Amino acid sequence: MSAPASVPSDTPRLDSYADKITSVIYSKGQTIFDADQINDVIFQVISGAVVVTRLNAAGQREVIEVAGPGAVLGMVSGPHYGCKAEALTRSTLASIGRSAIENSPQLQRRIGWALTRKLEKLQEESRTRMRTSATASVAKLVLSLPSITDKVPHERVALPQADMASYLGLAIETVCRAIKALKQSGAIQTTRRDKIVITDPGLLQRFCDEQAGG
């Protein structure tokens, strides 16, 4: 079996602080933390992929993040996590207690760097989403999905279409049509429910650049 995709080389790793962290392997579908759990531990994805969800006022599941290697999870202001994190694939996460972070300026800087990257990503997504078509939004999401392994970067972890719709704020029928268009064009293949294969990266990128109404 190929090794799962790992933390990008330019991303600070929490697991370099071996005396302060704990590394845990989670199986596919296993809960990492739940919404009502006390928020006393911060996590970093070392390998694999994690989906973060919450329940809205109507009790419906909303996807708020799809996290790959390097992502930091669990940084919330309240006493509880307020959301649920679940392994999309077999994943390794490093965990570190908040007390250890509070006592380590180096850890604070590393986590601050990771959160800055996350904020920049969210800002960029917010700026571009209103200007792009639904197909472009789906194409960008596919490109952003974590790779299953480092050796085969064009094989991405599949996200259920209902979760794609939730994350993008689109109707599931719209997402289904967009996925169909990407498949028919030859940009992607979905031969398995747990994997999306990017067969033509250049074409997929051109879909990403498609403007709304174009």
CATH of the domain at 203: 1.10.10.10
Q: 62, 96, 126 — which closes off a domain? A: 126
Antiparallel, parallel or unpaired: β 21-26 and 91-97: antiparallel
Instruction: State residue 2's pLDDT score.
Output: 46
Report in angstroms the alpha-carbon separations of 73 from 36, 43, 68, 114. Answer: 15, 5, 10, 10
Query: Do residues 94 and 11 touch, judged by C-beta distance below 8 A?
Result: no
Claim to verify: residue 140 and residue 193 sit in the same structural domain? yes
CB-CB neighbours of 66 under 10 Å: 20
| pTM for this predicted structure | 0.81
CATH number at residue 81: 2.60.120.10
Rounded-to-integer distance, Cα 95 and Cα 18, Å: 11
In a domain, 5, yes or no: no
In a domain, 9, yes or no: no
Query: Which residue range forms the structural domain that includes residue 197?
Result: 134-209
Do 120 and 163 lie in a common domain? no
If one compares 170 and 214, the residue with the highest pLDDT of the two is 170
Which residues are within 8 A (CB) of 136 and not within 5 positions of it... i.e. 6 or more apart? 207, 208, 209, 210, 211, 212
Do 83 and 165 belong to one domain?
A: no
The two structure tokens encoding residue 129: 């989403």
Count of domains forming the chain: 2
Q: What is the pLDDT of residue 1?
A: 41
What are the tokens at 120? 């920049």
**Are both 99 and 158 inside the same structural domain?**
no
Model confidence over 4-50: pLDDT tens digits? 555 554 555 665 555 677 899 999 999 999 999 999 999 999 999 99
141 in the same domain as 96: no
Task: Give the residue with greater pLDDT, 81 vs 3.
Answer: 81
d(CA 88, CA 194): 9
Asked if the structure places residue 158 within a domain, the reply is yes
pLDDT in tens, 54-104: 999 889 899 999 999 988 999 888 899 999 999 999 999 999 888 888 888
Amino acid residing at 141 = L
Whether 6 maps to a domain, the answer reads: no
For residues 165-190, average pLDDT? 96
Residue 60: inside a domain: yes
Q: What are the tokens at 23?
A: 């590394």
**Core vs surface per residue 29-62: b (16+ CB within 10 A) or e:** eeebbeeebebebbbbbbbbbbbbbeeeeeeeee
Q: Are residues 144 and 66 in the same domain?
A: no
* 100-136 pLDDT per residue, tens: 888 888 888 888 888 888 788 777 777 766 678 899 9
Verify that 118 and 41 share a domain, yes or no.
yes
The answer to whether residues 81 and 153 belong to one domain is no
Mean pLDDT of 169-176: 95
Residues with Cβ within 8 Å of 123's Cβ and at least 6 positions away in sequence, in order, are none
**Do 118 and 140 lie in a common domain?**
no
Specify the pLDDT at position 19: 61
Q: Are residues 143 and 122 in the same domain?
A: no
> Do 66 and 30 reside in the same domain of the chain?
yes
Q: Average pLDDT, whole number, for the chain?
A: 87
The pLDDT score that the predictor gives to residue 83 is: 97
DSSP state letters, 63-88:
EEEEE-TT-EE---SSSB--SEEEES
Within a domain: residue 148?
Answer: yes
What's the CA gap between 78 and 122, in Å, rounded?
21
At how many degrees (to 10) do helices 134-144 and 172-185 cross?
Answer: 70
Asked whether residue 145 carries a pLDDT value surpassing 60, the answer given is yes
- What is the per-residue pLDDT for 186? 97
